[in-house]
Structure 1
Amino acid sequence: CEDAWVAERPALRFADQQVGVILNPSASHFAFGKHHIRQQLLLAGSTAIQGVYVYANLVGNEAGRAIYDGDTMIGSAGKLLASGSRFSYQDVVLTTAVAEVQKSSPDGCIDCLFEFSQSEESRVETGNDTSLAAGVDAWEQSEFLKEEEFARALSLALFDYMRKSHSRGFVLSLSGGADSATVAVLIGLMVRFALDDLGQDGLSQRLSHCVDGELPDAAQQWVYELLWCVYQATRNSGDITREAARYLAESIGAQFYELDVDAVVEEYKSLISGVLNRELTWAQDDLALQNIQARGRAPSVWMLANIKRGLLLATSNRSEAAVGYTTMDGDTCGGISPIAGTPLN
């Protein structure tokens, strides 16, 4: 594992010891562009020993935080022979290749240093097109690779966390805005990706605990069972956000509920007005009145999540957290926050 991040790479030491095969089992968290870095490290390591380098990474989500992509690669003497599927929903992914392991000799080892740089001079010349390696999925060649990785990483993380926590799905306060819409779509993609990878029987086996009665047999039916979306209106809500939330939920197949929480918000306002002996006004109490609307929506979705035995999804993003543009116990409330590390751009 250290071969991917320490300055004095073990692969270089092994080259001096005439090692012919290096096995690198790793728990390296996902980051954009990291697959390419790992690939270059693997090629440099196999070049250094003029032998075979096998890399296998952990897959899934741990503790609702770190995401692992399940990256697997096999290289030999500076060439990539095979690359397995990333972000797989399978329990095991087997990546294979046929490579010749020659008897090593000190003369056969190459002094190969890898530098973390994007300059052409520092890259390892592989002599082959790595995109043609066996096992590379078509989406890996997309011009929108970052967007593909984003969707697949977070969808897999949500699936794995739900599975490991034995939750029966998700509850989401759907506002009609971009953040909650993104989270809802990730659940839809989660189901689609899982069905593509596992098939109907495989998905049913893994998520049978989420459904009472007959198991779904189509993607939208699975989304309907797994995701409850709730639009919570006050007197300041508009038809545009309400209809946007409804349309999105119906488009992906989620259950959609509408609650009027205006009375809850007004009751809190009345309580505080009594404490202060004055009426609360937007001119004087703007921030507090905005925040109580967000906080007033939390108890009902928490209650639904408890009843469903599901995970309440928070919708705050990284940009909002960085500047403090968020409501504690409002859009930050939830059991897991899928886009907390994602900036608006």
Structure 2
Amino acid sequence: MPHYITLATCSLNQWALDFEGNRDRIVESIIEAKKKHAALRVGPELEVPGYGCLDHFLENDTYLHSWEMYATIISNEATKGILLDIGMPIIHKNRRYNCRILSYDGKILLIRPKIFLANDGNYREMRFFTPWLKTQYVEEYVLPRLIQKITGQVTVDFGDAVISTLDTCIGAETCEELFTPQAPHVSMSLDGIEIITNSSGSHHELRKLDLRMAMITEATRKCGGIYLYSNQKGCDGDRLYYDGCALIVVNGKVLAQGAQFSLDDVEVITATVDLEDVRAYRALISHGLQSRSSPVYKRIHVPVELSPDHLNFNLNIKPSVPREIHYYKPEEEIAYGPACWLWDYVRRCKGSGYFIPLSGGIDSCATSVIVHSMCRLVVQACNDNNAQVIKDVQMVANMPEGWIPKTPQEVANKIFHTCYMGTKNSSIETRTRAKDLAEKIGSYHVDLNMDTLVSAMVSLFEVTTGKKPIFKIFGGSNIENLALQNIQARLRMVLAYLFAQLLPWTRGRTNTGGLLVLGSANVDEQLRGYLTKYDCSSADVNPIGGISKTDLIRFIIWSEDAFDLPVLREFVDATPTAELEPITDTHVQSDEADMGFTYEELSVLGRLRKVDKCGPYSMFVKLLHIWNDKKTPEQTADKVKKFFWFYSINRHKQTVSTPSYHAEQYSPDDNRFDLRPFLIDPRFNWARTKIDDVVSKLQSNETIDTMTVD
């Protein structure tokens, strides 16, 4: 006989420390799950205070307010009659834990602390929380008095246990635990737990979703069972975008998948499954044998049925059928991930919109097209009658109730401002491209020349010192040439903030704040240090600071057709140039020539440095093989030496780098993702000596001695 059960998991757009807003979204998700007849609702990791509270998790207020919000949730009649799995931080015996609270009908059944904490890359959970290292171990937890008054309970079980109902058994796993070699779901499956929940705060990276999905499906492919994955969605107030994509998997097959990029604050997905399918799948001799030596979990019994008999004979109930996982292309991920992040940022900071210095180059072009994508998502949400988006766009655009934009250009005209800041070193081509793009996407565009400002600065220096710097092509030195470029770049930053503050005022918006300034330095240029400190790359936020130039070019090519923007072809075909040096018959400045690297080379070098954890010598050895058909050993050695030289001398720039959308594992984001010192000896003398020795021996066909470090 079948045992049908409907289960719900969700993605919520939570915001760090937005206690009341987070609570309301949790309650909304519970109500939505009940409307879909779900017997169990699972929410994201730390959903009550928001996952990204960071050092606020060290403050006792965060724990107090989390309990206060939880009290209003379980005392709400609308949240009863369904098994709830809710995430929040809890202090137990003066230790802080990242926990799941499982409850039913206003009674807390179990508090399950996270066992394995995420503590690398973007995550520092060990800074805030203690891991619950005692697996299959349970203690008593004394509930706060405000909870005792609501539930009538004084103590509850706290630890690594599971919930047993009259018809099934449920266990909780939290985010990082899925990715560990000895993942809890293996032991749970062997001990007969049929439903496993996973509540996550997992961020978006380009090309990362397939890894996550493979791990989730694999969790039940070998062991059998039902796996409910819940994830946060949106910008939690920092550099990360949590990309939702809630999932329901049974025996390795996907039954339901949530959206990866969406402006919906609350998304609930459900699936109806047959518990008998799990039991049949697990009818393996090897599974039975290994279960005899596996750990045993304490079962907390709840006298309720999640799959009552009357459901099994209801012919209107149909089990969910398997489906394929939906993946976006990297170009689409760039279009939608940063766009959703920008929307959350501007609406939550109560901004009036965005401003960008639009240079006519591909980086500021890509940033502007991402804003265009944001405007498209807003219009789409308005067409779908998303009340929250409609309210937010009216607030950001300073428009009255009843105004609903019909086109992305209508949104952009209200909230997106672009400005071409030309000098005598600028070309007609870049000025025209900037104007044409602004017209197509509908931004409020300003075109200006800033030569008088540059001349005034140079004249001031000349009057003060008696020396007048000149460009290198006219006979000046390298230091003069660099200074004359930098002053143009830095003046653009000053102008950007002036115009960002006052442009809304010139358009009659006297009762609103200024615009947020967008930066547009890509990850490769930041890694190489090919930007001026405090120039127009210095901004409020940077949506492309974690995206490589090669990916940005692919994104622009894709956007040309996807967004019907034929003007983008001109940006792709143009040679990347900063236009900070005079253009002559024999000289046009080129970014790749200035850097000494192609953007493709920088992407390879950046990944080897960060992802593969290579120093100069190990990077050189790897590249000898990777670039064997492209470069000689001498050329490879030269590239590696130059890369580490420029990376080291420019490392200080990352200390003031604009907060960027994190999209690549080789992001050089200082003090957040890339914890390397900013004062490094750029010579790397010993590594250089070893590299030169290898090159010399290769030239003379000698045997090379190698040494590995265990």
Matched, 1:53 2:53: no
* 1:204 alignment counterpart: 390
* 1:12 alignment counterpart: 186
* 1:133 alignment counterpart: 323
Distance 1:337 1:5, change over 3 A: same
CA–CA distance in structure 1, aligned partners of residues 231 and 384 of structure 2: 26
* 1:151 alignment counterpart: 335
Superposition pairs of residues 77-156 of structure 1, within 5 angstroms? 77-102=251-276, 109=287, 133=323, 140=327, 145-156=329-340
2:178–2:184 contact (8 Å) kept in structure 1: no
Matched letter for residue 167 of structure 1 = G
Residue 49 of structure 1 and its aligned partner are, at CA, apart by: 4.1
* 1:281 alignment counterpart: 470
* 2:359 alignment counterpart: 175
Distance 1:244 1:26, change over 3 A: same
Residue 64 of structure 1 and its aligned partner are, at CA, apart by: 3.9
Residue 132 of structure 1 and its aligned partner are, at CA, apart by: 6.6
CA–CA distance in structure 2, aligned partners of residues 271 and 303 of structure 1: 21
Matched letter for residue 93 of structure 1 = E
1:30-67, Cα deviation, whole Å (9 max, x unpaired)? 12232222222222222344211011211112334111
* 1:30 alignment counterpart: 204
* 1:340 alignment counterpart: 545
3-state SS in 1 of match to 2:270: coil
Q: Which has the higher contact order (CA 8 A, sep 6+)?
A: 1
* 1:317 alignment counterpart: 522
Larger mean CA deviation between 191-200 and 229-238 belongs to 191-200
* 1:239 alignment counterpart: 428
CA–CA distance in structure 1, aligned partners of residues 336 and 177 of structure 2: 26
3-state SS in 1 of match to 2:420: strand
Identity %: 28
Residue 197 of structure 1 and its aligned partner are, at CA, apart by: 3.7
1:162-181, Cα deviation, whole Å (9 max, x unpaired)? 12211111001000100000
CA–CA distance in structure 2, aligned partners of residues 84 and 198 of structure 1: 20
2:189–2:225 contact (8 Å) kept in structure 1: no
RMSD over aligned Cα, in angstroms?
2.3
2:496–2:536 contact (8 Å) kept in structure 1: no
Residue 77 of structure 1 and its aligned partner are, at CA, apart by: 1.1
CA–CA distance in structure 2, aligned partners of residues 306 and 172 of structure 1: 12
1:290-344, Cα deviation, whole Å (9 max, x unpaired)? 1111111112210222234221001111111111110111132110011111111
* 1:123 alignment counterpart: none
CA–CA distance in structure 1, aligned partners of residues 413 and 322 of structure 2: 39
3-state SS in 2 of match to 1:94: strand
Q: Which of 38, 43, 48 in structure 1 is aligned with 2:217?
A: 43
Distance 1:198 1:163, change over 3 A: same
Distance 1:213 1:149, change over 3 A: closer
Residue 71 of structure 1 and its aligned partner are, at CA, apart by: 1.2
CA–CA distance in structure 2, aligned partners of residues 7 and 62 of structure 1: 29
1:69–1:153 contact (8 Å) kept in structure 2: yes
CA–CA distance in structure 1, aligned partners of residues 536 and 543 of structure 2: 12
Q: Which of 257, 264, 269 in structure 1 is aligned with 2:458?
A: 269
1:263-284, Cα deviation, whole Å (9 max, x unpaired)? 1111111122233311111123
1:54–1:74 contact (8 Å) kept in structure 2: yes
CA–CA distance in structure 2, aligned partners of residues 148 and 168 of structure 1: 27
Residue 200 of structure 1 and its aligned partner are, at CA, apart by: 6.5
- Larger radius of gyration between Structure 1 and Structure 2: 2
Residue 17 of structure 1 and its aligned partner are, at CA, apart by: 2.3
1:162–1:169 contact (8 Å) kept in structure 2: yes
3-state SS in 1 of match to 2:549: coil
Aligned length: 321
CA–CA distance in structure 2, aligned partners of residues 333 and 169 of structure 1: 17
CA–CA distance in structure 1, aligned partners of residues 427 and 207 of structure 2: 41
Larger mean CA deviation between 81-90 and 189-198 belongs to 189-198
* 1:328 alignment counterpart: 533
Matched letter for residue 194 of structure 1 = V
1:64–1:336 contact (8 Å) kept in structure 2: no
- TM-score when scaled to structure 1? 0.86
* 2:141 alignment counterpart: none
Which sections of structure 1, spanning at least 5 residues, go unmatched? 112-130
Distance 1:13 1:93, change over 3 A: same
